[in-house]
Structure formats: structure tokens, C-alpha cells
Amino acid sequence: MHNHLTFTKTQASDKNARRELVKVAKKLVTLGLNRGTSGNVAVRHGKTFLITPSGIPSECMLPNEVVAMDFSGVTLGAGIPSSEWRFHCDILAARPEIGAIIHTHSRYATSLACLNREIPPFHYMISVAGGDSIRCAPYALFGSQELSNLTLQALENRKACLLGNHGMIALGYDLTDALAVAVEVEALCEQYCIALQIGVPNILSNSQMQEVLEKFKSYGRRPKD
């Protein structure tokens, strides 16, 4: 009986995780952060992770189409994972504090990524990404190990980065946190683009950003125990 209950709880947990992932994937479209089949989402799930499937528009996606993978890159069960599964896998393996990853092709973040432009501390909310800038990883072919390696470098001590000529990645302790980071980074990218059209933005000093980062240690959501 105990084994049956454990199996039932595991099934319920799996279903809930899949539903939440699909819900967030759909919300990214609603918020205008992704369109069609662009972008992808992954969430840590025990000793495995779940990721959006390849080639299925978020609006049409069903929980049973979400793909499970292990950290050696093996697909568990049916389905074809997103072509970007490598950087999801590598980020989750390298960053145990991270539970969810969102990748978008959102308008303003992608525009800056196509300029290979790092976002400097023109606004104190840059701190939401964990540092005094939002780095831009050099371009590499989508789905490649090279892209994954470059992404890990750009995300060192960060919760977000741009991908050169590609898009944006946001990390979170869970899906809610990752979504909040993605929304804020896209808003910052929009503000930076507008500021650049008007003139040269004032850049906060290192000491000013350090003050903000210190405050951010107790700001917002915290990782779960």
C-alpha cells in the first residue's frame, strides 16, 4: 500500500509540474515575450528536468507533450525536446540553486542581442539579474554545445543574459521567479532602447550599484529550503 501511495503522489507531482510549465509557456505568449514556436521553458523535477517540446506552438501545447530528460541528455519517455535542451540541461546541472529557466525571443531583448550589446547599469533594476550588468553571450548556432558553453559564461553570477543575435535567458528559483525575471529584463531592454533614442543614458557607478545589490539580498522571493 505504501508503494502504491508513493507512486500515486509521484504521478500527481509530475502532472502538476507539467501543467505549471505549460501554463508559463502560454503566459509568455500572452505577455508578448514569445510567439509561435519561439522560445522554450524548463523546470527542475527531482533528479530530472521537464522541458517544452520541439515545434509545438505554446498556444496548442498539452501537459502530456512536455518532455522529461535526465542530466546526461537522455530523453525519458515519449516526445522530442526543444532544440535548446542543451543549455537548459547544462544550466540546471551547473546551478543547483536554479529551478527553472525561461528562454524568449522577446522584441527588445532580442533587438539588443542582435547588436551584441551588454546592458550597463543605466537603471538600478539591472540588479534583478544578479549583478551590475546584463551580459550578452557571443553568437553561436542554436542548439549547439558551443552556445551552451557561452551561455554558462554569460550567466556566471547572474540570473539573466542576452544571447547574441538570438534572444534572452532568465533563471529563477522556480517558474514564478524565472517569469518575473524575464518580464523585468524585457522591460529594462525596452527602457534602454528608448533612452538610447533620446540620448546617452546616465550610467550608475560601481559603488551605487553595490549599494543596490546589497539591498537586493533581502528583496523579493527567496529560494525554498
Q: Which of 84, 146, 190, 214 is catalytic?
A: 84
pLDDT band, very low/low/confident/very high, at 220 (cuts 50, 70, 90): low
What's the CA gap between 39 and 100, in Å, rounded?
14
pLDDT band, very low/low/confident/very high, at 5 (cuts 50, 70, 90): very low
Q: Report the Cα 169 to chain-centroid distance in Å.
A: 4
In the prediction, which pLDDT does 13 show?
A: 85
Q: Indicate left, alpha or beta for 67 from its phi (over 0: left) and psi (-120 to 50: alpha).
A: beta
Region 48-62: mean pLDDT is 94
Region 43-68: mean pLDDT is 94
Q: At residue 4, does pLDDT exceed 50? A: no
In the prediction, which pLDDT does 225 show?
A: 47
Report in angstroms the alpha-carbon separations of 176 from 13, 72, 80, 158, 172. 17, 26, 25, 17, 7
- What is the dihedral sign for C-alpha 74, 80, 81, 82? positive
pLDDT band, very low/low/confident/very high, at 42 (cuts 50, 70, 90): very high
Nine-digit cell string for 10: 509521484
CA atoms within 13 A on the CB side of 123: 18
What's the CA gap between 224 and 10, in Å, rounded?
20
In the prediction, which pLDDT does 12 show?
A: 62
**What percentage of residues in the chain have a pLDDT greater than 70?**
92
User: Which domains are assigned to the chain?
Assistant: 15-216 (3.40.225.10)
Q: Which residues contact 36 (CB under 8 A, 6 or more apart)?
A: 57
214 CB neighbour count, 10 Å cutoff = 11
Q: At residue 7, does pLDDT exceed 70? A: no
More confident residue, 130 or 9: 130
- Containing 187, the helix (H) or strand (E) segment is helix 175-198
In the prediction, which pLDDT does 27 show?
A: 96
Residue 20 falls in the annotated catalytic set: no
What's the CA gap between 129 and 113, in Å, rounded?
16
Question: Which letter does DSSP use for residue 221 in this model?
Answer: -
More confident residue, 35 or 22: 22
pLDDT in tens, 133-142: 999 999 999 9
Q: What amino acid is encoded at 67 in this protein?
A: V
Residue 104, strand partner residues:
168
In the prediction, which pLDDT does 3 show?
A: 52
Nine-digit cell string for 31: 505577455
